Amino acid sequence: MARHQAKVNRQLEPVQVDSQRLWAPWRSAYIARTVRTQQRCIFCIRRLGQAALSRRLVLYAGPQAMVMLNRYPYNNGHLMVAPRRHVASPELLSREDRTILADLVAFAVERLRSVLHPAAFNIGANLGRAAGAGFADHMHWHVVPRWEGDTNFMPVIASTRVLSQHLEESYALLAPHFKAIDTALS
């Protein structure tokens, strides 16, 4: 009985904020950007040619939704699926737009599974800046492939993620698999 009454008095130690960095050249543009006010929405792209879409890492740009590689990925193949309409939350979308987004997320999982062979996925959305959204005014889904051991000692000990593939390599590998997306979804 005495052991049930005893309370453990533990103090939480502060988490180290200091972190190490590994070479990730595509992040320099993000890190160098000190003022993020009046930033253009990366999802609000209009009629662009294929070269411009490729530079923006867009794998698919349909009339109602798009799929693009995340320029600052958590893992190789980290995709974002976004509606073309600039809305902050899914309830502001039409049922048709929500259905298209769900279909695109499923298509992205299927393609990532067949090309990169991940063991699992994290799929989710950060709605609002307090939830961690980098672009809080334009809702989007994250599709993050996961592998056994991809969370290793580096993030825990050194607050650093290791990515084994350059973004341009990921884009070149995935782009051909998103060409027939309209046919696959109809």
118-162 pLDDT tens trace: 999 999 999 988 888 888 899 999 999 998 877 655 454 445 555
Answer yes or no: are the C-beta atoms of 98 and 90 closer than 8 Å: yes
How many folded domains does the chain comprise?
Answer: 1
Question: What percent of the chain is modeled with pLDDT above 90?
Answer: 40
pLDDT band at 11 (very low <50, low <70, confident <90, very high): very low
Cα separation of 104 and 99, whole Å?
9
Tokens of 46: 């209009």
Pairing of strands 58-61, 65-69: antiparallel
Which CATH number belongs to the domain containing residue 139 in this structure? 3.30.428.10
140 carries an active-site annotation: yes
Can you give the pLDDT at residue 103?
96
Residue 31 lies in a domain: no
- Is 68 domain-assigned? yes
The verdict on residue 10 lying in a domain is no
How many other β-carbons are positioned within 10 Å of the β-carbon of residue 71?
16
**Residue of 140, 142, 166, 177 with catalytic role:** 140
Domain range for 151: 45-181
* Assigned domain for 154 exists: yes
